[in-house]
Amino acid sequence: MRLDIFSLFPEAFDWLQTQRPVQNALREGNELRLFNYRDSAPPPSRKVDDSPYGGGAGMVLRVDIIDKALQDAYGEGKRPRIVLLTPTGRLLDDELADELVAEPHVAMLCGRYEGFDERIHEHLADDEVSIGRYVLAGGELPAMVVADVLMRKLPGALGNASSAAEDSYGQVLEGMPEYPHYTRPPVHRGWKVPEVLLSGDHEKIREWRLERSRERARAYAEATGEAHPKPAGGAQNSASRTE
């Protein structure tokens, strides 16, 4: 896939591009491009924002500048799916990530200041995405979150040994959280690794892991009053502790 990110701070994404899953995804032929709105703002001021009509605090990103930035990037050609990053957008979850990663070309627009001129929402964006119900100073961190989620879902991003489908919330676990992991030492300060994991019995280990995932899904549902992505296991199949 091709992922474009529009921002006033493209250098904020330097770190993201050093990350192994991102580098793997790029090596597999995927693309990540960064654009600076300021490059599309008229010199000498290169101003991208202005004060809101009707008064009020803060500055608003201008519709003409954002429109020009998209025009400069895509011309009259086919537009990507354009995603506005805003605190009031559709909440990012694994399902939305799967939907976006299925697109051949996605562009994310990062906001700053009080936000985007409403006409950007209305006329230029296809979707609005938020990473949680709180307000951040800008869309750069959310864009990095979305880019990370999407990139690691691309074939080859995690190397040969694993895939994002096996992650928490992924297809293999039917939307459930992942089971707990342990490594050496087998005992630390009396804290033991569950016996079954040391047994070498792969069928038993698989069952144990599935049961731990179900347990976590139920605990999540109880704590939040919200069914975990997929109500897994069912209440009748209550956990029996085997460790």
**Nearest residue (CB) to ligand 6GU, 138 versus 156:** 138
Q: Whole-angstrom Cα distance, residue 103 to residue 105?
A: 5
Q: How far is the CB of 158 from ligand 6GU (least distance, A)?
A: 25
* C-alpha span between 37 and 74 (Å, rounded): 14
In whole angstroms, the minimum distance from the beta carbon of 85 to ligand 6GU comes to 4
Whose CA is closest to 176, among 213, 225, 205? 213
Amino acid residing at 187: V
Question: What is the binding site for ligand 6GU (CB under 6 A)?
Answer: 85-87, 111, 130-132, 134-136, 138-139, 142
The neighbour count for residue 40, using CB atoms within 10 Å, is: 20
Nearest to 167 by CA among 240, 223, 85, 93: 93
Report, in Å, the least distance between residue 87 CB and ligand 6GU. 4
Residues annotated as part of the active site: 87, 114, 152, 167
What are the residue ranges of helices labelled H in the chain?
A: 14-17, 20-27, 63-74, 94-101, 118-123, 140-153, 195-198, 202-224
| Residue among 84, 150, 90 nearest 111 (CA) | 84
Residue among 58 and 132 whose Cβ is closer to ligand 6GU: 132
Of the pair 140, 167, the CB lying nearest ligand 6GU is at 140
184 CB contacts (<8 Å, ≥6 apart)?
none
Cβ-based nearer residue to ligand 6GU, 40 or 86: 86
Output the smallest distance, CB 131 to ligand 6GU, in A.
4
